[in-house]
Amino acid sequence: MDNHATVERYERVWLAFGMVMILVFIGLTAYIVISHGNTIPRAGGVVDVSKVRSEGEFANPRVVETAEGYTVYAQAFTYGYLPAEIRVKQGKPVTFLITSPDVQHGFYLEGTNINPQIVPGYVTKVVHTFDKPATHRIVCNEYCGIGHAAMFGKVVVEK
């Protein structure tokens, strides 16, 4: 019995399997980006955690309508989101700028593939265009304390 040939055959099968899985992974990633839009979180700058609530854009959480669409200045805090309700119209790009005045939180937008971490000291930027009216719950996906499971917000997309 030729053990060497058997081992080589297994190796070839595993190499082929690995390469196929890489192609599947690239294909799935491309499919998600094409079907859902590119919602990969980007760096949006840094902030002084101790001043998030008192100074700068994030001290006044709000939705700003711009010529291109909307800019949302949002806070994720223990335990909720500001603005508590974000209202935008469908078909216009929404730039979410999100930071935290305390600990790390999540910003998962139900029904979308938006799911960034919100890290104190940093601004997370996510751009998305909603294509139909809907109400999306914002859910915290990072354990942040006793009220974590009750930490919700809301994005209302209007026609």
Instruction: Please name the residues in contact with 72: beta carbons below 8 A apart, sequence gap of 6 or more.
Output: 62, 63, 64, 83, 86, 88, 94, 95, 96, 97, 98
User: For the window 65-94, what string marks contact with ligand CUA as x by the rule CB under 6 A?
Assistant: --------------x---------------
Contact 122, 42 (CB under 8 A): no
Distance CA 143, CA 105 (A): 7
**Considering the rule CB under 6 A, would residue 151 count as an interface residue with ligand CUA?**
yes
User: For the sheet containing 134-139, what is the strand order?
Assistant: 85-89, 152-158, 134-139, 108-109
**Considering the rule CB under 6 A, would residue 136 count as an interface residue with ligand CUA?**
no
Among 89, 92, 134, 142, interactor with ligand CUA by CB under 6 A: 142
Smallest gap, in angstroms, from Cβ of residue 131 to ligand CUA? 28
Within residues 101-120, the interface with ligand CUA by CB under 6 A covers 105
Tell me the C-alpha to C-alpha distance, in Å, between residue 63 and each of 28, 59, 69, 74, 113: 33, 13, 10, 8, 21
Stretch that binds ligand CUA, among 21-29, 33-41, 52-60, 139-147 (CB under 6 A): 139-147
Total site size for ligand CUA, rule CB under 6 A: 8
Q: Which is nearer to ligand CUA, 57 or 142 (CB)?
A: 142
Smallest gap, in angstroms, from Cβ of residue 40 to ligand CUA? 21
**Given the rule CB under 6 A, which residues bind ligand CUA?**
79, 105, 140, 142-144, 148, 151
